[in-house]
């Protein structure tokens, strides 16, 4: 891995591959690099602050961090996943097995096998937003989705988020 570290270009995405939320400028982040075949992890960077611009190339652990979508050097680099440092820490604390890095790799890298996929806007869950805690059975029946009443609050917030974007949110107001 020494040769890889000294010359490697690492593509970083502005979204956490564990929590699926946006990684904002200056948030503490880590990158997990995979083996060339993409089947497993090989190296975890030290934490770094996520760069501001998509054209900025930063350095950490003698690695070049790059978030340019069309970078020719990144196209031939080892696969990588970008993770909030706190998400990584929480995962490590709760998943107390030796193969934790492998589990993170499978959960992160394998869900989007395209190396340079543009970031998609994800719903940001507001755990303090209590405007949509639940939907009662009669309301769910009335809008033709009876299973909606069985969903947890977090999923209802996601449904609401996507409904607001599609313009059909009237039925999800409380």
pLDDT, tens digit, 9 for 90 and up, residues 23-35? 999 999 999 998 8
Euclidean distance between CA atoms 119 and 14, whole angstroms: 7
Q: Is pLDDT above 70 for 94?
A: yes
Q: Are residues 99 and 148 in the same domain?
A: no
Query: Taking a C-beta distance cutoff of 8 angstroms, is the pair 3, 71 a contact?
Result: no
Q: Is pLDDT above 60 for 93?
A: yes
Sign of CA dihedral 30, 2, 76, 65: positive
Euclidean distance between CA atoms 14 and 129, whole angstroms: 24
- Residue that wins the pLDDT comparison between 57 and 12: 12
| Best-predicted range by mean pLDDT (1-5, 9-13, 45-49, 55-59) | 45-49
Q: Are residues 18 and 83 in the same domain?
A: yes
Q: Are residues 82 and 156 in the same domain?
A: no
Q: Are residues 101 and 47 in the same domain?
A: yes
Q: Are residues 23 and 81 in the same domain?
A: yes
Q: What ranges in the chain are assigned the alpha helix state H?
A: 2-7, 72-75, 85-94, 100-109, 137-142, 153-166
Percent of the chain at pLDDT above 90? 16
**pLDDT given for residue 85 in this prediction:** 95
Pick from 26-35, 82-91, 159-168: least confident: 159-168
**pLDDT given for residue 55 in this prediction:** 64
Q: Evaluate whether residue 173 is within a structural domain.
A: yes
**Total number of domains in the chain:** 2
Task: Using alpha carbons, list the distances in angstroms from residue 56 to 11, 45, 64.
Answer: 12, 18, 10
- Residue that wins the pLDDT comparison between 106 and 130: 106
Euclidean distance between CA atoms 40 and 62, whole angstroms: 21
Query: Taking a C-beta distance cutoff of 8 angstroms, is the pair 65, 31 a contact?
Result: yes
Q: Are residues 38 and 105 in the same domain?
A: yes
H or E, element range at 24: none
| Best-predicted range by mean pLDDT (91-95, 125-129, 166-170) | 91-95
Domain with 75 in it: 2-109
Q: Are residues 6 and 40 in the same domain?
A: yes
Q: Evaluate whether residue 65 is within a structural domain.
A: yes
Euclidean distance between CA atoms 63 and 7, whole angstroms: 7
- Residue that wins the pLDDT comparison between 140 and 13: 13
Q: pTM value?
A: 0.61
């Amino acid at each position: 891995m020494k040769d890889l570290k000294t010359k490697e270009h690492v593509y970083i995405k502005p979204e956490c591959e564990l929590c699926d939320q946006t990684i904002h400028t200056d948030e503490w982040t880590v990158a997990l690099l995979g083996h060339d075949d993409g089947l497993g992890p090989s190296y975890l960077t030290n934490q770094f602050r996520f760069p501001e611009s998509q054209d900025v190339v930063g350095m950490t652990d003698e690695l070049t961090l790059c978030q340019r979508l069309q970078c020719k050097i990144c196209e031939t680099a080892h696969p990588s996943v970008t993770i909030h440092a706190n998400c990584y820490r929480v995962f490590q604390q709760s998943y107390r097995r030796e193969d934790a890095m492998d589990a993170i790799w499978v959960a992160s890298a394998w869900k989007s096998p395209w190396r340079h996929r543009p970031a998609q806007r994800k719903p940001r869950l507001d755990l303090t937003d209590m405007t949509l805690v639940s939907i009662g059975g009669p309301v769910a029946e009335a809008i033709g989705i009876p299973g909606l009443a069985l969903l947890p609050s977090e999923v209802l917030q996601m449904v609401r988020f996507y409904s607001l974007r599609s313009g059909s949110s009237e039925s999800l107001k409380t």
